[in-house]
Structure 1
Amino acid sequence: MDNQREVREFLTSRRAKITPERAGLPTGSRRRVPGLRRSEVAALADVSVEYYAKLERGNLAGVSPAVLEAVARALLLDNAERAHLLHLAQAADGSDALTRPRRRRTKDRWKPHRSLQWTLDAITAGPAFVRNGRMDLLAANQLARAFYADVYALSDNQENLARFTFLDPASHRFYPDWDQAADITVAILRTEAGRNPHDKDLHDLVGELSTRSDDFRTRWGAHDVRHHGTGTKRFHHAAVGELTLAYEGLEMAAEPGLTLTIYTAEPASASEVSLILIGCWGGSN
């Protein structure tokens, strides 16, 4: 991906989201831009307007961590956005033709070592699975396979949650809050693109989804990023109907870039009963 373009569009989109009120600045009667002016961001970051304009044109090479942090504060970036800005700066510092890493394509699908699969299989009360930043489902316990039966049902999904969300009509039933699920999916891919800009498989996936889905293309252009660590989601499973699950996403120290996600239901809730039924349903198929 074009690093300068990514930087330019990311910084511009963040600036457009901040009102003068949020930034603690006086509001004028006439404002030609949505959000802050470049001069206002520069003042908040304590840099010259010319220097900030250079940054917003996409020139992050050689920018000090102190300046990046000042810009992050001025733009009110959250932790995920700060990390994304840092990744973009790191990519800019390595963008010279002599040092730029080659775009990598995964030749063989990653396979879990036996002890990891044993660990997943030992988790029986909730769906547990391992995914990468492209949202490929790489390993799962039996309950996760039954839970994501719609994802595994069609070969076109390629066991990928992003393809399922945007290209499979079944996703609109599976995710009652589909817009939220779609936003999260794109934000995870955006975050991965900043962290691993030379991943050819990710480039191909983004290109495919942009071509085939207007919903994806619009969201991708928003440049939103996020850390997907904990929370609750609603689902609608074909076998049991609607259920609400909590999730925890854990970065795998032994496999950088991979995330172990575990879904659980509130004890003694209807959703807990539904998970038990999904497990029985999956075991009978």
Structure 2
Amino acid sequence: MESMGQSAEFGKFLKAMRSRLKPEVAGITDGAGARRVPGLRREEIARLAGVSTDYYTRLEQGRNIHPSRAVLDSVGRALRLDAGEQAHMMDLLEHCAESTRSPLPVQAVRPALRQLLEAVGDVPALVLGRRTDVLAGNRMAFLLFADFPELPQGKRNLTRWLILDPRARELFRDWKSVAAEAAGALRVDVGRHPNDAQANQLVGELAVHSDHFRQWWAGHRVATRSSGSVRLHHPAVGDLELNFENLVLPDDADQMLRIYSARPGSPSADALTLLGSLGAGTTANSRVGSTTPEEAAAFGTPEAASNADVRPNPTGP
């Protein structure tokens, strides 16, 4: 593999993964009762990975060394990393020198994608960008979650809303697990774009205002689910259980289409239908307010879309 630089964040990730690994899970029984810190010792991970203790120590200390793919695979197996964690470890190495690269492109949504959001208008759908910025959505999504078009542009972020807005805690019946997973997804994004100033600002804001987020962030959890389910209690229509699918766009790895749906004929499907009827007289488009044409187009205003220069976002990492 090509040589890659080293980063302190990479070393912190290795240490966090080592600390969570129980000796008995790794098949280590000697001296387990005399441990002063949780997890495995550095020499134990080094032995399991087939490298010297000195070499592994330098990896964890963030030294400027260039591990091979084989070594990284061995370390990943020793730490019992899953596929998402292994990919995140590689991201931390590959992108740690991105400070010399060009600024990230402005995020924009293709007109055809906005049309698709309206075509699935009976179910909530969002387009999420880097750091889970809400780039676009349909009326049902804004009725179910929050009226993101009415928020200031810098606040239109799903993770920020989920963790800091009290209404999100009331909406998600399993808020803590959902919010922890959102923090894990944000960590993946930061690993891909470590020098994204807006992402770093978001992490700082969440850390200042949320004790939970600080704990989750310190644990270096990684979340990469492509599908799942959520349990909600909406103030207007009551309880819902919805499935979601995350579809990464093939022409832009930094954009993801998330669609929520309910099992046909279920009470949750009836609740979604009721929610749509309750909001039948309102549209997110009419509430965009004093946005620029480009911002309005991102949230699906047809008139604005015809006047705005909305270009596809160049391919991501």
TM-score, normalised via structure 1 length: 0.90
SS of residue in 1 equivalent to 2:200: helix
| Offset of residue 31 of structure 1 | 1.4
Q: Partner residue of 2:112? A: 115
For structure 1, the residue ranges without an aligned partner over 5 or more in a row are none
Contact 1:232 1:246 in 2 (8 A): yes
The answer to whether structure 1 residue 265 and structure 2 residue 269 are counterparts is no
Residue 103 of structure 1 deviates from its aligned partner by 7.2
- Give the CA RMSD over aligned residues: 2.1
- Residue 230 of structure 2 is aligned to residue 230 of structure 1: no
1:180 aligned onto 2:177: yes
Equivalent pairs, count: 277
Structure 2 match to 1:4? 7
Q: Which segment drifts farther, 226-235 or 213-222?
A: 213-222
Partner residue in 2 for 1:146: 143
Cα deviation digits, residues 91-131 of structure 1 (max 9, x gap): 34xx3xxx74347366x5x3322111111111133211110
The 4+ residue runs of structure 1 with deviation greater than 4 A are 150-157
Deviations 1:224-262, CA, capped at 9 Å, x for gaps = 111021111111212111101011101101122111111
Structure 2 residues not aligned, in runs of 5+:
1-5, 283-317
In the other structure, the counterpart of 2:298 is none
Identity %: 39
Distance 2:27 2:130 in 1: 36
1:55 aligned residue: 59
* TM-score normalised per structure 2: 0.81
What residue identity is the alignment partner of 2:68? S
Deviation at 1:32, TM superposition (A): 2.1
Aligned twin of 1:13: 16
Q: Hey, what's the Cα distance between the residues in 1 that align with 2:209 and 2:126? A: 27
Distance 2:64 2:72 in 1: 9
- CA distance, structure 2, for counterparts of residue 30 and residue 103 of structure 1: 50
Match of 2:292 in 1: none
CA contact (8 A) 1:176 1:234 kept: yes
* In 1, Cα distance between equivalents of 2:242 and 2:48: 41
Provide the rounded CA distance (Å) in 2 between the counterparts of 1:156 and 1:171.
19
Aligned partner of residue 21 in structure 1, secondary structure: coil
Paired with 1:15 and 1:268, the residues of 2 have a C-alpha distance of: 47
2:48 equivalent in structure 1 = 44
After superposition, the C-alpha distances for 1:125-175 in whole angstroms (9 at most, x for unaligned) are: 321111013111111122112212365565498221122122211111011
**What is the distance in 1 between the residues matched to 2:34 and 2:127?**
51
Amino acid in the other structure paired with 1:284: G
